[in-house]
Structure 1
Amino acid sequence: MRLNHLNLCVGHLEEARDFFGKVFHFQLVDQKGDAVAVMKDEQEFTLVLSNPVAFGGELPVYPKDFHVGFYVETTEEVDRLCDRLEEAGLVKGERPKRIRDGYTLYFTALGGILFEVTCFIR
Structure 2
Amino acid sequence: MKLNHLNLCVNNMSEAVTFFANIFGLELADQKGDAIAVMKDEVGFTLVLSRLATLGGEIPTYPEGFHVGFHVDTKEEVDQFCLRLMAAGLAGEESSPKSMRGGYTLYFKALDGILFEVTSFAV
TM-score (norm 1): 0.92
Partner of 1:32: 32
Residue 4 of structure 1 and its aligned partner are, at CA, apart by 1.9
Number of aligned residues: 119
TM-score (norm 2): 0.91
CA distance in structure 2 between the aligned counterparts of 1:52 and 1:103, rounded to whole angstroms: 32
Partner of 1:8: 8
* Cα deviations by residue, 1:66-97 (Å, 9 ceiling, x for unpaired): 00000000111000010110111100221001
Contact 2:73–2:122 under 8 Å retained in 1: no
Partner of 2:107: 106
* Cα deviations by residue, 1:17-71 (Å, 9 ceiling, x for unpaired): 01001111100000000110000011110100010329xxx75421110000000
Residue 116 of structure 1 and its aligned partner are, at CA, apart by 0.2
The alignment partner of 2:119 has SS state of: strand
Alignment pair present for 1:75 and 2:72: no
Partner of 2:50: 50
The alignment partner of 2:16 has SS state of: helix
Whichever residue aligns with residue 62 of structure 2, its letter is: Y
CA distance in structure 1 between the aligned counterparts of 2:96 and 2:42, rounded to whole angstroms: 26
Contact 1:9–1:59 under 8 Å retained in 2: no
Contact 2:35–2:50 under 8 Å retained in 1: yes
4+ runs deviating over 3 angstroms: none
CA distance in structure 1 between the aligned counterparts of 2:45 and 2:109, rounded to whole angstroms: 22
Residue 14 of structure 1 and its aligned partner are, at CA, apart by 0.7
Identity, in percent, stands at 61
